[in-house]
Structure 1
Amino acid sequence: PGQGYPPGEGYPPGPGYPPGPPRGPGLAVRLGERAVRRPEPRLGISLAGAGIALAVLGVLVWAGDYLTSGGRGGGGGGDGSSRRLLGVVLSLVVVAAGYVLALRARRGPLNTAGVVASALGVPVLIGFLTFDAGSRGLPFSLDALALISVIAWLASYLVVPGTRGHAVYLGLAAITLWFYVLDKAEPKVYTAGFLQFFGGSFFADIRGPDWNTVALLSLFFGLAYYAVAFVLDRLGRTGPGAALAVGGFLATAAGSAAAAVNLPPIAEGVMLIVLGAILAGFGARGARRFTTWAWSAGVALGVVVIIGKLADQNSAAAGVALIVSGAVLVVLAHFLAGVLHEPDDLVPSAASVASVGDGRLP
């Protein structure tokens, strides 16, 4: 278990795998193994992705400095259009090399390097192509950057050989779509912050965002992503579900934080407890470790918020209440484990077996 298997040779033997290649709707067949299982952590693959991220950062630093500061690091001159050329060319090289590498090396660190290069290179390329130093707003087209990137990522995820099925594309598309809609509805969240940071006192009087709008939109996207991931898990498509769970966590956590600005503390605490319990249950059902632990911590955070409000700076009362609440939560957890017939954490669940194999060490 856990070893690579060439495309078309089906799954390794084990109770978590159906015999032969993926069967079912056309999309599942197209995405192959990545539709029905989450990738396992590998040192070489992770380091390859990190290395490409460093390379893309290098493109941003070098070409960005040349574009915005007269080319101190690279020399040369010319107007803004000509200065974009370095960033455009370097970004094109990164994207093209990424797709070629992913196409030629279908598995392993080189494939991951190609996937990450193509995924990160596209928005960098669009940013340099649309850069306009004279713009009163953002110096690049957010519409073009977000929409073209999302289209390119979805095409790479669904269609392009070598990159098809890699969850990083779907995760980036989900997160960017949330960011984009949020910025359109409440531009003061990201755009104004960017302008204030780079524009100095000229933008100092920009009004803050409507945090209720931020909270509602973020919670809508976050919970929608979680709902789709839940359905995909039920259908045995845990690969794309993992990508949506990442977007779901970021959006839901941001929405909860934004809601805290205007909600009374007790209401915020209750919301965290309810959301945390539901989403931790979703994570446990789908064998998603981070989701389960993070939202279980959200339940505890909700209790802390409520006790902090009720104790009203009385440290002794707060301490006793936290101790009692912790004990009650432990008893409740023991009761729930029995009611739900949860096995021990070293016993593979059906979801984990279906996702990563039969649970045995290689």
Structure 2
Amino acid sequence: MEERKKILLNIIVGTIIAIIIISIINLFPLENKLNETFLAISITDPPLIPEGVEGIYLTYSNVFIHDQEKGWISLNSSGEVNLINAIDYAYVLTINKVKVKAIDIIRLIVEKAKVSYLGNNVTTEIHSNEINVKFEAISIKENEINVINIHVIPKLIPIFENEFKLIFNATSKVYPINIYEIFPGINKNDLIKMIKAKRILPIKDILVYNIINQEFKNLIKILNISLYNNKLEIFVENISNKTVIINSIILYKLTTFKIGKIQKVKINFITFLVNYKGEMFLPKSLIEIKNQIIENKGYAIKPNEIIKLSFNGEIRLLSFEKIEKLHRLMDENIIPLEKYTVIIIGSGYANDKEIVIAKG
């Protein structure tokens, strides 16, 4: 029994490390929890500029967000940003306390634009005094710092010798930024103060993170999952134009809560490996997991192929629980009607993640 616990402990440590490395889930200390919800909106992407342009200064008089339930909400923010500098940095237009659940439009009210051309400020015509960025609704997490970055895709067009027109492309985009990946371990209240003071966020690394995650979604896709106490069945499709090696599957449930000053973190999970026949099996050690990934072992799913991955047998999740300084390690069964997360990991950063409700 003691030997089995050592094996299970190895697996949980390895799995948690793997999850952190590939940035699939993030765990933050509960004592760093905010009591209010913040939304920061930032802007990036330099415009397409003619030779000789040294700066494009955009003055905005307000920022609005559209909440799906409450409609338009003013954030009462104004300021100026030099778009040419918004390459490796995201300029923070506003950071505010909000009470919204999901937003689907950001509107920037442009007051004026100024262009520095060959050392002189020149006349700049604005095509529109509104920048409306529409997108699929983004959920706003309660008691967190939410950051949404705007890709405005502006274009500067010469009209006369010393006159330009500034146009903002209708295909402007947004994406959420995980602020804790830029500033890991920082106290949330200190982070808010820093954002307000500096008004810029380094985004070079986070852009790579977003590109990788986009690549994840462009390779494989989970079509359907069935989960029982003695069976796991997953249908996966290769939606890319190249063969992907599916090597491992993680099934987990994360629970965190706080009662008074007592904090509790609990993760229930199990790791499966996949062999070259597409059969799921349980690893015996962390080394087996590591070798599977390093040696790129697993099932080679071809472009447009759909495969059913299944495990038949009792599914016992390892439960790791931390309450203050107390740590507990035990086995637990799948609980019917509970929500679990399934992550499929493959070669070339292939990944997909879906939530499944366990059946009785």
Instruction: State the TM-score, normalized to the length of structure 1.
Output: 0.21
* Greater strand fraction, Structure 1 or Structure 2: 2
Instruction: State the TM-score, normalized to the length of structure 2.
Output: 0.21
User: Relative CO higher for 1 or 2, CA cutoff 8 Å, sep ≥ 6?
Assistant: 1
